[in-house]
Amino acid sequence: MNVLPLYAQLINLFAALLLLLAFAMLAQRRVLTLINLFAAQGLSLAASTAVVAFGTGQAHLYWSAGLTLVLKVLLLPWILHRLIRKLDVKWDIERLINVPATMLIGIVVVVFAFNLAVPISQLASTVTRSTLGIAMACVMLSFLMMITRRKAIPQVIGFLSMENGLFFAATSATYGMPMVVELGIALDVLVGVLILGVFFFQIREQFDSLDLRHLEKLKEGE
Amino acid sequence: MTAQALLSQLVQVALALALAPLLVGWVNQCRAWLSNRSAPPLTLPYRTIRKLFMKDAVVATRASPLFRLTPYVVFGAMCCAAAIVPSLATDLPFGVAADAIALVGLFALARVFIALAAMDIGTAFGTLGARREMFVGFLAEPALLMVLFTASLISGSTSLPSIVDTLAHRELAIYPSLAFAGVAFTMVSLAENARIPVDNPATHLELTMIHEAMLLEYSARHLALIEWASALKLFNYSCIGLALFFPFGIAQGSDDWLAIALAVPVLVAKLAAGGFALALIETASAKMRIFRAPEFLGTAFLLAVLAMLVHLLLGS
């Protein structure tokens, strides 16, 4: 059994943690814990990016690791914490239907993503190529989370965690995107969350709740 | 097969039989300490078993032979399991007879018999306990199998002694798959051994019982055998966990008597640490509603499957 260098082992560990956190978010009922899990996912993403930077000597990855740390571990969770405090949904519990069934669908999604990633990762030459499957699985799990949630805030967290997965995919397939693109995406995400925060208030004012089912009706008063 | 291997096999089974009640006593003592109660003596399980053996057995009038047979079957299954699990040495002549999958089958055999015996008398509580036990069991078994499959995939064999041999000899590295499998195995062991998040071993409230509800009709030597068998089950699960995830100190091969002699204190130390960890988990968590058990065991299954998938993808 040939042993990988330590940094590659660490990358694998953080990748596995990322996948685990994606599943934890899929099953989490409390909004507050969901935000903390999102912050933890950001932290493990930043750590893995930093380890990739250290292992491969790509200096620009340090910047993106720092950017991830500031944006996804500190700034976005802070904004979200403030939002749920202002919206007074801090202790909100979302009733999820059938967590075990969702988990099983999640496992199927992961198998699908892993199979999808194998031919792509064989083309890549990076150290991190085998983690591409995990990145794709994270993207799809976040997608699944957005499908199964009804409330607005968990949907936005699902969207943000999907971005985490995409970022990880970029790191594992090509050692990250160019700096300009990364900065652009970071700004987009930040502005997106700010705008969605305004939307939350509008939705609640209109329908007295943050349940997105109300948005599915086209006419008023049915 | 040498005479020495046979002897090491016998020593291992004898040690399991002798140490199992001590492990239960140790866990109870740690639980008492952690919850600020004065602890019962360490030898209490031995005394209970002795007391029960000296009493006269009372059997319900409608009991079928199955009811009398069950304690012996359960005890025999647990002894067999103790012979397969490499707790001291990996050169076990008996280990060839059954692999990891057959081990899960042995546990299932014991469970089916005890559930049938509980239904045999026809009391409400026995039936209730049997149903709950099967409910927990059918959720825990796939997760346990997945954990064992992960270990088998890593070592390329389903025979427990060779799995432990491979795991003990690999180079030191971070294995995310083994970490996931370890957490999943802990959760399954808690459920299978009727420990706190799923069942309370010390409960006297019939409505929340699972394991205890099935034993209400047993007395004297039958009860003693079943109590001993559940202690052995806990011992076996602890040994599987220790052998798979902390395989240090287990003697390789049976030629070396010194290695086997050294493996005994190492095993006792590991079991003491494991028992304390179990007591810590039990003290820190509350028993959950029976209908939350699918979620708990579903999570264990998920972790075990993730461990396998991560191993297949990352090769670590």
pLDDT in tens, B271-284: 899 999 988 988 88
Is the Cβ of B177 closer than 8 Å to some Cβ of chain A?
A: yes
Least Cα separation, residue B200 to chain A (angstroms)? 23
Residue A91 CB-density burial (10 A; 0-12 exposed, 13-18 middle, 19+ buried): exposed
Least Cα separation, residue A203 to chain B (angstroms)? 33
Rounded to an integer, what distance in angstroms lies between the CA atom of residue B203 and that of residue B213? 10
Q: What is the mean pLDDT of residues B221-248?
A: 89
Exposure string for B95-121, b = 16+ CB within 10 A, e = fewer: beebbbebbbebbebbbbbbbbbbbbb
Which tokens hold the place of B296? 């708990």
For the stretch A16-38, pLDDT in tens is: 899 999 988 888 888 888 999 99
**How does residue A141 score in pLDDT terms, banded at 50, 70 and 90?**
very high
Q: What is the mean pLDDT of residues A86-93?
A: 76
* ipTM passes above 0.95: no
Query: Does residue B127 surpass a pLDDT of 70?
Result: yes
For the stretch A144-157, pLDDT in tens is: 998 888 888 888 88
Looking at residue A221, its pLDDT comes to 59
Helix (H, G, I), strand (E, B) or coil at A34: helix
Looking at residue B1, its pLDDT comes to 56
Query: Cβ–Cβ of B313/A134 closer than 8 Å?
Result: yes
**How does residue A2 score in pLDDT terms, banded at 50, 70 and 90?**
low
Query: Does residue B202 surpass a pLDDT of 80?
Result: no
User: Shortest CB distance from B306 goes to which of A20, A27, A104?
Assistant: A20
Lowest mean per-residue pLDDT among B77-81, B88-92, B239-243? B88-92
Q: What is the mean pLDDT of residues B70-81?
A: 91
Looking at residue B253, its pLDDT comes to 62
Lowest mean per-residue pLDDT among A115-124, A152-161, B67-76, B148-157? A115-124
Chain position carrying tokens 């959760």: B187
For the stretch B4-27, pLDDT in tens is: 778 778 888 888 898 899 999 999
Which tokens hold the place of B243? 């052998």
Is the Cβ of A108 closer than 8 Å to some Cβ of chain B?
A: no
Is the Cβ of B289 closer than 8 Å to some Cβ of chain A?
A: no
